[in-house]
Amino acid sequence: MILETITVTAPKRRPAPSRPLSARPAVSDPPPSAASDPPSPAASANPPSFQAQQERFERRPGAETVVSITERDPGKVTTLGDALDKTPGVFVSEGDTFISMRGSDIANDGSRNGRGIRAYLDGFPLGRTEAGLTNSLIELLAIDYIEVYRGGNSLRYGAIATGGALNFVSKTGRTAPGTGVSVFGGSFGTLQTQVENGGVKGAFDWYLQGNLFKKDGYRIHTGEENYRFSGNVGWQITPNIESRTFFAAGKTNLDLGDSVPLDQLETLRRGVAGLATQYNARLDFEYQRLANRTIIRDGDTSYEFGGYFLNTALDHLPVPMAGIIDYGWREGGVSGRVEHKTSLAGLPTELVGGVRIGYTDGDFDRFQHRNAGTEKGRQIYDWAFSSWLVESYAESAVEILPRVRVFTGLQGVFTTRDLDDDYRGGAVPAVPPIPGNVPQPGRDAVILEYDRNFQALNPKIGINWEHTRNHFVFANITRSYEIPSGADLANIFSVDRGRGRIPQLDAQSAWTWEAGVRGGWERFKYDLTLYHMRLRNEILTRCATEISAGCTSSNTVAFNADRTIHNGFELGLRTLPFVSVFSEGDVIFANAVWNYTDFRFDNDPVFGDNRMPVIPVHQLYGELGYRHASGFFGSVNLRHLSERRTTFDGSGGDAFIVPAYTLFGAKIGWRAPDKSWSVFVEGRNLTDVAYVADFAPSPAVPVMQNPGPPPFSFTPARTPLVKPGEGRAVYAGASVRF
């Protein structure tokens, strides 16, 4: 099927001496192409194979990509940026603290949790259903491939996402049989190990893995430790009934470093020993997850049933002027889906429909702290949060002419945001100051709670035309919808203290027009998409100037921009310019990605037609390499980002513009033809460039500088605060599979 399907077929592989390209340019080091081979039944369609998803995505009407993790050349793959660096349309900051597609999350302050992108693991939500994604839940070492849906293309996954959706598909005993051991390490105290085992026995298959990742960090107080275990068990109950159960548990300990002034980036690139270091600010996160998906096939119809449960806990210890944060949330849900092949008026037709129901409840507590942040003090917030999310979708694909398919779809969403304030302790002043004359957090006696409902219908229409074999033209028009997170709404209350001076936050919506071409020949693959998006009420973040003479991290709030426009194009190229250069079957390859963005306000009463901050106008990735038929490979690469604004109104001059930068890297290694052994050495930022990895939008208005005892003074900001990127680094790794 060509809809977002489960019952798929996998193409046969055809051996080729030159390791030709896959059908999609966004895939790293793909397996041999098999576009001309007749399909054969897959051993298991739960989940579908990487090759089957590649073939299906080509025939879809939108900017959709499948990215292999297991088929790429061995190298550093510890962050989303490592995995998606060759994927058009995705922006991931160095350090993996910020991910955006088509301007999503363009001005989110605080936790930066990927607002505007929905993330899934094997089709189940990855993180809180009401807010973005949770990076700590992503285990790239256990992933086979990633499905990337840019914009509002995915009806199944994108009911409340403007930027798009990611679905991480796990390895199974059928795709990763045997026992594997890998070790990776290098600069800044980096070490990663993994042990995995998979296999098939009769009607059952299994996959188990455990991994450890730790690093000391390039900047002061940015160490990290991750301990993760996950796996799944599949059961072929009958030839037409498959069930797979997924499970995972993990823990993350992350030290939080201080940002540095942009005008001191060169001298302070290793960070500063500021408040975060002084109070040992850190984030501790742990989770447990269980899910099951069962598929029943009955001729031309298939049925899917799923359910999952996720339990998480987070301690944020401590945050000067915000206190100690102690959050716990639980999330569960069920889903159903039906797919059917038929004909309408004699035309081949595929139909799909489904529903997903999820519920989240959380305990969001905050405390003052004492003993230099090592102990909880008086509790100041006792919030109980809950959210229902009901998503439904239906889509049809009709082949109106040979190789011409028209897609129509409709997506519905209903969700709630409910915050109950159980605090009854009266007003708490923001004193006494902690060492350094930084005030403790406080609160008013007023009860801070809300109860909001949101609902929407999102239509879609698209077309895909295979005008020449393996060459496609596509276009679509989609509506998308994005809802304020619970944190957005709660932050307004905590800053406004219930006075009602800050306007109520509404959901944002967008219409997107998209067109593109993709496909290619054996040695040249291309993927080009152009898009135009018009948004209403885009959710951004700014200072709460309505109630304060200055701006700090504790009084920034989300707001709705009236109208904004996001334009751009996304280009990916994969080429083999030379084949059999030095010996039979060797290749020289060249790959490139170019993302161009033009995100602006549209006659805004405050910001006019100004360009929006954070996302660069140009994002380029280029790679040139050599691969020998024996398994030896080597490559060089570069990543370039143009300059980026940090203010909405363009104020602040050059001092508020993050300079452009170009990073150079190289990699060399060997992988046995049967993939039983591999080794590599990789260098990053080889010219040791000082650059900005991440930053939040900066208001060019008075901000708190060197605060003392109340009343606090505010002075004009001289330059924004930023997070420096890592310096020159070298990594090496090896893996063996039995």
Residue 47 sits at φ, ψ, to 5 deg, of -85, 165
Query: Please, are residues 313 and 137 in contact by the beta-carbon 8 Å criterion?
Result: no
Q: CA-CA distance, 311 to 570, in Å (whole number)?
A: 37
Please write the tens of the pLDDT for every residue from 530-583: 999 999 999 988 766 544 444 554 567 788 999 999 999 999 999 999 999 999
Burial of 435 from C-beta contacts in 10 A (0-12 / 13-18 / 19+):
exposed
Joined tokens for residue 410: 């409709």
For the chain, helix (H) and strand (E) counts, in that order, are: 4, 38
Query: Please, are residues 474 and 403 in contact by the beta-carbon 8 Å criterion?
Result: no
Question: What are the residues facing 288 on neighbouring strands?
Answer: 249, 311
Q: Specify the 3-state DSSP secondary structure of 281.
A: coil
What amino acid is encoded at 351 in this protein? L
Cα-based torsion angle of the residue sequence 461, 618, 146, 676 in order, rounded to the nearest 10 degrees: 150
Nearest-CA neighbor of 670 among 74, 179, 186?
74
Q: CA-CA distance, 607 to 451, in Å (whole number)?
A: 31
Q: CA-CA distance, 335 to 136, in Å (whole number)?
A: 24
Distance of CA 375 to the CA centre of its chain: 34
Joined tokens for residue 18: 């030159």
Q: CA-CA distance, 619 to 569, in Å (whole number)?
A: 11
Give pLDDT, residue 18. Answer: 38
Bond into 30 cis (ω within 30): no
Residue ranges of the chain with per-residue pLDDT less than 70: 1-45, 107-113, 129-131, 320, 431-439, 496-501, 543-555, 699-717
Q: CA-CA distance, 395 to 378, in Å (whole number)?
A: 53
Distance of CA 270 to the CA centre of its chain: 26
Q: In sequence order, what DSSP letters do the residues of 116-173 get, joined into one string?
A: TEEEEETTEE-S-TTSS--GGG--GGGEEEEEEEETT--TTT-TT-SSEEEEEEE--T
Element (H, E) at 276: helix 275-278
Give pLDDT, residue 37. Answer: 31
CB atoms within 10 A of CB 215: 20
Q: CA-CA distance, 532 to 515, in Å (whole number)?
A: 9
Bond into 659 cis (ω within 30): no
Q: Specify the 3-state DSSP secondary structure of 181.
A: strand
Joined tokens for residue 655: 């001092």
Residue 26 sits at φ, ψ, to 5 deg, of -85, 0
Q: What is the pTM of this model?
A: 0.90
Nearest-CA neighbor of 262 among 653, 617, 600, 556?
653
Q: CA-CA distance, 591 to 88, in Å (whole number)?
A: 12
Question: What are the residues facing 723 on neighbouring strands?
Answer: 694
Which residues touch 633 (CB under 8 Å, ≥6 apart)?
Answer: 73, 625, 626, 627, 667, 668, 669, 670, 671
Scan for tokens 């576009």, then name that residue. 35
Q: CA-CA distance, 278 to 260, in Å (whole number)?
A: 15
Nearest-CA neighbor of 342 among 381, 300, 296?
300
Give pLDDT, residue 311. Answer: 96
Give pLDDT, residue 157. Answer: 87
Give pLDDT, residue 602. Answer: 96
Give pLDDT, residue 717. Answer: 63
Show the 3-state SS of 27-86: CCCCCCCCCCCCEEECCCCCCCCHHHHHHHHHCCCCCEEEEECCCCCCCCCCCHHHHHCC
**C-alpha distance across the termini of the chain, in Å:** 35
Element (H, E) at 491: helix 486-496
Nearest-CA neighbor of 223 among 185, 193, 189, 267?
189
Joined tokens for residue 371: 């003993």
Q: In sequence order, what DSSP letters do the residues of 421-488 get, joined into one string?
A: E---S--B-S-SPBTTTBPPP-B-SS---EEEEEEEEEEEEEEEEEEETTEEEEEEEEEEEE---HHH
Q: What is the b/e burial string over 591-611, where b = at least 16 CB atoms within 10 angstroms of the residue's CB? A: bbbbbbbebbbbebeebeebb
Q: Which structural domains are found in the chain, ordered by start? A: 9-737 (2.40.170.20)
